[in-house]
Amino acid sequence: MIDTGTLWIVIIGLGIGSYALRFAFLGIVGDRPMPAWLLRHLRYTAVAMLPALVAPQVVWPAATDGQADLPRMTAALVTLVVGLLTKNVLAAIFSGAATLFGMLWLFAL
Amino acid sequence: MPATTPKTRTRASAYWKGFADGAPFLLVVIPFAMLFGVLATEAGLNVLETLSFSAVVFAGAAQFTALQLMQENAPTVIVLASALAVNLRVAMYSASLTPWIGAAPLWQRAIAAYFTVDQSYACSVVQFENEPQMTVPQRMAYFTGVLSPIVPMWYVSSILGALVGTQVPDSWALDFALPITFLALVAPMLRTAAHVIAALVAIITSLLTAAVPYSLGLMIAGTLGMMAGAQAEMLLERRKLRHD
């Protein structure tokens, strides 16, 4: 059982802390000019962080207790390739989802 | 949908574009928030405590981490530090959005900061890069649009999970909705060799550091990927200058 006092300390502390993380740049830097080297790094934030966030879930999915899973890996690959070729986000999502469900269905037969 | 055609946008059309781009994330957000509600109730939290947790903290992965550690009776300082470490990536998102919406009024940035999460960041950065001619108010309208379907359902689903305690069946494979959506968003962004290098370095590092606790491997991977991208960009520019 979680102690109520501790719970509220964690809720409030975590609320303040995670807000501070988000406010740091957006709020404090605002439209002040940032150095060129920093901007150069920030141009690659999305293409670095988002794939890094999902890569372990693709290779070791929690749903299969971390066992590499052919349908999920193939679906990820199809999504990426369709996205690269068509530059169309929705087409990539639907191809990936269709691949995932198609292969899960085939494997369940 | 050719991304390169310049479009004239109004604030309303930017908002609705955001709304349409954000809506598919409900597939991820609803089960995720419900699962939090279920686990929070199992840990002994009442509905008000569960909702407050989701509303005040507003960071799914950090909430799960904190809940887990509190159940293990970890010291409060460790609970806070670990959950914040898991959430460090939002500081990167905040930095990355600053060149785009840093010129908005402070009160708008203060609100946007609270709502800077995986989904709003990922959609916004893609949209802002695709249509760089958008004005700052249009960008804020788009950002608000992305969040409009997501945020209410995040709160509602947390409560539903706490009340009903049901879970989505595993056979729906919704665990994989997030990876597919993020890969689909990122793929069209891989325009130059530098972008591809950044992504490859980040992916490889993230797999190699997957065992590092508190998701800190992600920070290492993200940072190395960004550095690789920036270095590649400089090298490529220098080579181009030499050829010209």
- Which residue type, as a one-letter code, is found at position A106? L
CB A53 within 8 A of CB B120: no
Segment B227-242 shows an average pLDDT of: 92
User: Which pLDDT value is given to residue B167?
Assistant: 60
CA angle B89, A74, B36 (to 5 degrees): 40
**What is the distance between the alpha carbons of residues B135 and B133, in angstroms, rounded to a whole number?**
6
Segment B58-67 shows an average pLDDT of: 85
Tokens 């200058």, located at residue: B241
Contact between chains at B203 and A82 (C-beta distance less than 8 A) = no
Q: Helices H, strands E: what count in chain B?
A: 12, 0
Distance from CA of A54 to the nearest CA of B (A): 5
Answer whether A109 touches B (CB < 8 Å). Answer: no
Segment A82-106 shows an average pLDDT of: 92
Contact between chains at A83 and B184 (C-beta distance less than 8 A) = yes
C-alpha A6, offset from chain centre: 30
Lowest mean pLDDT across A17-26, B52-61, B169-178: B169-178
Secondary structure (3-state) at B163: helix
Contact between chains at B229 and A47 (C-beta distance less than 8 A) = yes
> Helix B177-186 vs helix B118-130: angle between axes, to the nearest 10 degrees?
20
Q: Which of B88, B190, B228 sits opposite A21 (nearest CB)?
A: B88
Closest chain A residue to the Cα of B85, Cα to Cα = A18
Distance from CA of B182 to the nearest CA of A (A): 6
Give CA separation, A5 vs A11, A14, B118, B151, in Å: 10, 14, 30, 27
Assess: ipTM above 0.90.
no
**What is the distance between the alpha carbons of residues B181 and B177, in angstroms, rounded to a whole number?**
6
Provide the mean pLDDT of chain B.
Answer: 89
Share of chain A above pLDDT 90, in %: 63
Closest chain A residue to the Cα of B115, Cα to Cα = A22
B117-127 residue pLDDT tens? 989 999 999 99
Segment B27-56 shows an average pLDDT of: 88
Q: Is the model's pLDDT at B227 over the cut of 90? A: yes
Residue B210, phi then psi, degrees to nearest 5: -60, -25
Burial of A52 by CB count in 10 Å (0-12 exposed, 13-18 middle, 19+ buried)? buried
